[in-house]
């Protein structure tokens, strides 16, 4: 891109450069490419604490265009907002409904405006990550995804048991819970392998149901115990 007004301050030089290029090319590809380059996480290796505040502010603006930048610095589609207060109101409404359901407090922490400015899917994805964090904290394991679930819940005996495992029914419940957590991880955690999931236009009712499911998982993990290992 050219620099049509080099004598002006940086913000006006950038604006005029983008405007001149977009008017000439009749597309926004240069602006999107600039965002991709500027938001590469590797650029923030020495100042990691600056990345998330910058991404949150950028996503507030991009939400008006139906776009957002994810944690990997990649652009993707989001639910378009039309007012500055829409994302905040969406967060408050969702949080109020979940409080009424009595969901786990570890889930409520992810009902934030900056997440819902992206889309409901992103809030569910972040809440799902909290399950992995709890599994690691309770067990000392360092893995992620299905491997973490199998190591923590699926071994014999499991590192974490949700019941006494004294009957076949209880052992079946443990296996079912393991499959449930593994399924939630497969559905939301591996974003690159499930790119179509990110493009869901998730509605509020779906987000509430899914966050309630994550809440159930948290409660069962909170009440779980570590069986003696021979």
Q: Classify residue 1: in a domain, yes or no.
A: no
Q: Classify residue 92: in a domain, yes or no.
A: yes
Q: Give the pair of three-digit tokens for residue 1.
A: 């891109």
Confidence class of residue 167 from pLDDT cuts 50, 70 and 90? very high
By residue range, what is the domain housing residue 63?
A: 10-77
**What single-letter DSSP state applies at residue 48?**
G
Q: Classify residue 195: in a domain, yes or no.
A: yes
Residue 197 has pLDDT above 60, yes or no: no
Q: Give the pair of three-digit tokens for residue 15.
A: 């604006």
> Where a domain ends, among 24, 44, 77?
77
pLDDT at 189: 66
Q: Give the pair of three-digit tokens for residue 42.
A: 């590797």
Same domain, 137 and 177: yes
Same domain, 103 and 213: yes
- In this structure, the dihedral spanned by the alpha carbons of residues 166, 170, 175 and 178, taken in order and rounded to 10 degrees, is -100
Same domain, 143 and 196: yes
- Give the tens place of pLDDT for each residue, 49-66: 888 778 877 887 887 888
For the residues 113-132, what does the mean pLDDT come to? 79
Q: Give the pair of three-digit tokens for residue 216.
A: 């159930």
Same domain, 202 and 116: yes
Same domain, 185 and 145: yes
Residue 193 has pLDDT above 50, yes or no: no
Q: Give the pair of three-digit tokens for residue 89.
A: 């109101």
Residue 23 has pLDDT above 70, yes or no: yes
Same domain, 105 and 153: yes
For the residues 95-101, what does the mean pLDDT come to? 85
Q: Could you give the CA distance from residue 226 to residue 19 in angstroms, rounded to a whole number? A: 61
Same domain, 206 and 131: yes
Q: Is residue 108 classed exposed, middle or buried when 0-12, 13-18 and 19+ CB atoms within 10 A define those classes?
A: middle
């Amino acid at each position: 891109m050219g620099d049509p007004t080099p004598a002006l301050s940086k913000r006006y030089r950038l604006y005029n450069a983008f405007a001149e290029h977009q008017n000439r090319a009749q597309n926004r590809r240069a602006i999107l490419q600039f965002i991709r380059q500027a938001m590469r996480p590797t650029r923030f290796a020495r100042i990691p604490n600056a990345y998330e505040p910058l991404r949150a502010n950028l996503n507030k603006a991009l939400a008006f265009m139906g776009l957002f930048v994810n944690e990997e610095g990649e652009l993707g589609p989001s639910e378009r907002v039309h007012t500055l207060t829409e994302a905040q109101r969406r967060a408050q409404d969702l949080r109020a409904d979940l409080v009424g359901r009595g969901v786990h407090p570890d889930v409520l922490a992810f009902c934030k405006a900056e997440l819902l400015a992206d889309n409901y899917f992103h809030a569910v994805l972040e809440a799902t990550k909290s399950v992995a964090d709890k599994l690691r904290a309770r067990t000392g394991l360092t893995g992620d995804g299905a491997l973490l679930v199998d190591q923590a819940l699926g071994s014999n005996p499991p590192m974490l048991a949700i019941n006494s495992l004294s009957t076949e029914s209880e052992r079946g419940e443990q296996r079912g819970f393991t499959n449930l957590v593994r399924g939630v991880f497969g559905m939301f955690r591996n974003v690159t392998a499930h790119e179509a999931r990110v493009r869901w236009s998730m509605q509020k009712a779906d987000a509430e149901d899914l966050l309630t499911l994550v809440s159930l998982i948290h409660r069962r993990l909170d009440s779980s115990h570590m069986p003696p290992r021979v």
